[in-house]
Homo-oligomer: A and B are copies of this chain.
Amino acid sequence: MTYCPLCHLTQEDKRWLLYGNEYWSVFLADKQDYVGRCLVMCNRHCDSLSKLRPEEWYSLKSIINALETMLSTELNATMFNWSCLMNDAYKYDPPCPHLHFHLRPRYKEMMHIGNITFLDHEFSHHYNNQAQAVMDDEALQNLFNTLHSKVDIYFTK
């Protein structure tokens, strides 16, 4: 198998780990183009949705429930865009896709967090895949700290 970076996460990669269980890891995305953007990664090297095992699929639903509830409650997200793409893995030959989801919270209203004011310019339209990050390192760290301190409320241990 080709080297898979998601199977070999460094401590630096794990810096924004919000929650993990036996099957899944939830990271706050280091690029916060949509505030609260997360990545939900399968712990096992699995290359497609259809190859997920029943126990992974079952657990994924509890992760989705907890994340949507947390981000609605703590950030006042209006709704969520979920995608499972894995396109980047196919830039290599052979490809080495490792299943993960992108979660972009979307906001009808202007939202404020710390010193950041965020307006979801494309709300009710497809997310902008070229959107720029709206948070610097300090704001990202603050957002992480805020969400991480609430994880136990929403996720099962």
Contact = CB atoms under 8 A, between A and B. Distances in A.
Contact of A61 (B57, B65, B80, B88): B57
A105 to B, nearest CB: 12
Given A57-B57, A83-B84, A84-B83, A124 B91 contact: yes
Contacts of A126: 85, 87, 129
Interface in A35-90: 48-50, 52, 54, 57-58, 61, 64-65, 68-69, 78-88, 90
A129 B126 CA distance: 8
Contacts of A88: 124
A157 interface: no
Interface residues of A, number: 35
Interface of A is mostly: mixed
A150 interface: no
B84 A124 contact: no
Given A79-B86, A90-B123, A90-B124, 14 more contacts: A48-B68, A48-B79, A49-B64, A50-B68, A50-B69, A57-B58, A79-B90, A79-B95, A81-B87, A82-B83, A87-B106, A87-B123, A87-B127, A90-B108
20 contacts: A48-B68, A48-B79, A48-B80, A49-B68, A49-B82, A50-B64, A50-B69, A57-B58, A57-B61, A78-B90, A79-B87, A81-B87, A82-B85, A83-B84, A85-B126, A87-B106, A87-B123, A87-B127, A90-B123, A90-B124
